[in-house]
Amino acid sequence: KQEVTQIPAALSVPEGENLVLNCSFTDSAIYNLQWFRQDPGKGLTSLLLIQSSQREQTSGRLNASLDKSSGRSTLYIAASQPGDSATYLCAVGAPSGNTGKLIFGQGTTLQVKP
């Protein structure tokens, strides 16, 4: 059974720091890996999707990498800002019939202090 783990559970950094969030998964047979952001009391916003054949994806100050063989993904945030404060969730897409079921980690709650 696929399990997804995110470490650390919480992180507090000063503004301007570069930081890395970690995600690990137990079964390398994945369809894709997705990173989401969740603000308090809100739904999830998609940040990046890495297909199983890809190694990384970039969007602005965000870069996500994928290493299927070791079961790891990282989300790199450059020059962090207070507006980046949120919970970041990674999810692994596991093929299931006609849909890609997502299995989520528990998230990393990030606080960026001004």
Partner 1 sequence: DVKVTQSSRYLVKRTGEKVFLECVQDMDHENMFWYRQDPGLGLRLIYFSYDVKMKEKGDIPEGYSVSREKKERFSLILESASTNQTSMYLCASEPGQASNQPQHFGDGTRLSIL
Binding site for partner 1 (CB under 8 A): 31-32, 34, 36, 41-46, 49, 51, 89, 91, 95-102, 104-107
> What residues have CB less than 8 Å from 100, skipping those under 6 apart?
31, 32, 93, 94
Question: Looking at beta carbons only, is 9 or 79 nearer to partner 1?
Answer: 9
CB atoms within 10 A of CB 68: 18
CA-based max dimension of the chain: 46
Q: How far is the CB of 112 from partner 1 (least distance, A)?
A: 22
21, two tokens: 């969030």
How many other C-beta atoms can be found within 10 angstroms of the C-beta atom of residue 16? 11
Least Å from the CB of residue 111 to partner 1? 17
55 vs 113 by CB, closer to partner 1 = 55
Q: How far apart are CA 1 and CA 38, in angstroms?
A: 25
Q: For 24, phi and psi rounded to 5 degrees?
A: -130, 150
Nearest approach, Cβ of 71 to partner 1 (angstroms)? 18
Q: Nearer to partner 1 by C-beta: 14 or 43? A: 43
Task: Report the nearest approach of partner 1 to the CB of residue 65 (Å).
Answer: 17
